[in-house]
Homo-oligomer: A and B are copies of this chain.
């Protein structure tokens, strides 16, 4: 079967019709860009994915990295794949030209790397984490730190990680036990154990730069006493030359269900007395700095989940168009030839649901990227601030919705292929395994739901919430100008009403009820808000598709737009109505599990 990774037409739709990425070239930072340079970057990503990533997709999964007690052994083909990404500039597509980046807007960078992520999300993980590490040090480090660590990382000679989780403190950053002791030279000696460090060790680069959260001796307890350190695998002298090993050692690799292209490491810092670390920014501000990287990582997680969903959708679609099996219920003739399975309504259900989930999720991630671009380069200060408020607000949804619906899409892709989808003849079972991590790492689903409800909604006089609702109303206004969008526009308006009533009730409960009870259904709130936001993204796509249809396009484009409208119809008929059920649960402060006592289980 011909292996198509993603639908290029669809990617162009997001960039040039749904979001006006071309308009960004009017901003000074992107002045040298044009539609042509965007397309060239996307084509570069596609070619590298096709040439380096796709051929090793299965091997990366089957031949997991191993650790012989001394060093990590990886599939040799991973390095050339990563090197190709680095040489193309796609390892840091948003970075300044002077760092070897492409200085692309975030939204274009996302699309330019989409083929790589879809064909090998965890192989791409090495460069994208390194990129996020650089961004943090650029924002909060000293010029010396930037010169020493960021420059070689941008060049692809060094790689970067973030090291937060500890064996006895998973999501609980307040309980981090890794310690840092200040030395006379103004450096720190770091001692502690970290786990689940993605890309924490490998043989792909000259050095690995860990960003490590640790507590300086005597610092306050809790998250207010946590600082951030640069802790390299190898020490580097003033000339930038890589020298002796730091006291950083790999304790072991985790064997994961999926995402096997990227090592997940347990690392011991300071077993020989203390690994040398360099403080980033000020003492006790580590959590704040780390969230610079973390927020970026959360959007990366959502994006990866969405692209893995898109990849499975595309694969199962290609399969369904070729594979022949069975007959329609209306067929009375056992002598007739079996139909292609896309002719079965239930197979189209599984395809259209995947389309609605995957394209809904990815459009949301790109909306987030567009906001990130506005935060950085919108000409108007108020516009920049508004974008920041909304992006902060939406981050838990951008992280969570694709991570929840992405695996559902991948499960449907398996189902389309039937028994074949359950075997490694096809990649869909790998997508399903890969995608399952996304609702865990960088803050679990539950953690995101508390972030949304307890922090982001009330924050700053509900500024993010209000901003979000108000933008939705603007788009509803636009949608009502298209005859084909009257129904979904009205439905989204009604959904906003549901959201408003629910939010009012829950915030009221947070005042009146025990806070643990008031927050107990936070996951349902995240689900409700998520479905409304994705319905909004579908309405946005409906507007763009309607505009496209109004231009009387050629047949292929016409079909493409009709497909968008059909996925919108599906989402509004089958998915959006669920919010009524969740509203009831939330407004009633349903307490079935809250009241469930441990001894009852």
Contacts and interface: CB of A to CB of B under 8 A. Distances in A.
Interface string A411-437: 100110011111111000100110011
B444 A418 contact: yes
A168 to B, nearest CB: 7
A330 B335 CA distance: 68
A456 to B, nearest CB: 15
A334 B595 contact: no
Interface string A553-574: 0000001101100100110011
B580 A170 contact: no
A523 B345 CA distance: 11
Given A169-B325, A255-B424, A317-B601, A593 B349 contact: yes
Contact of A346 (B255, B421, B523): B523
A317 B601 CA distance: 8
A98 to B, nearest CB: 37
A441 interface: yes
B593 A446 contact: no
A553 to B, nearest CB: 13
Most buried by B among A348, A420, A592, A595: A592
B515 A329 contact: yes
Interface residues of A, number: 105
A179 interface: no
Contacts of A429: 257, 436
Most buried by B among A196, A254, A349, A595: A349
Interface in A497-546: 514-517, 519-520, 522-523
Interface in A250-298: 254-258, 264
Q: Can you tell how many copies of this chain the complex includes? A: 2
Contacts of A224: 334
A223 interface: yes
A386 to B, nearest CB: 29
A574 to B, nearest CB: 6
A240 interface: no
A257 B432 contact: yes
B580 A592 contact: no
Contacts of A324: 168
A444 B415 contact: yes
Interface in A436-485: 436-437, 439-441, 444-446, 449-450, 454
Contact of A223 (B334, B420, B436, B446): B334
Contacts of A566: 592-593, 595-596, 600
A414 B445 CA distance: 12
Given A520-B345, A578-B581, A335 B221 contact: yes
Nearest to A328: B516
Interface string A587-598: 010101111111
Most buried by B among A335, A433, A573, A596: A596
B433 A419 contact: no
A321 interface: yes
A80 interface: no
B255 A348 contact: no
Most buried by B among A169, A264, A326, A563: A326
A595 B454 CA distance: 42
Given A346-B523, A418-B171, A423 B256 contact: yes
A601 B334 contact: no
A352 interface: yes
Nearest to A334: B222
A175 interface: yes
Contacts of A254: 423, 425
30 contacts: A170-B418, A171-B418, A172-B325, A174-B327, A175-B325, A175-B338, A221-B335, A222-B335, A256-B423, A257-B422, A330-B514, A330-B516, A343-B598, A345-B516, A345-B517, A346-B450, A349-B520, A349-B593, A351-B601, A352-B592, A414-B440, A415-B444, A419-B441, A422-B440, A429-B436, A562-B600, A569-B592, A570-B593, A570-B596, A578-B578
The 3 closest A-B pairs by CB, nearest first: A222-B334, A563-B600, A345-B520
Given A172-B338, A174-B326, A346-B520, 6 more contacts: A171-B325, A172-B327, A254-B423, A321-B598, A415-B444, A566-B595
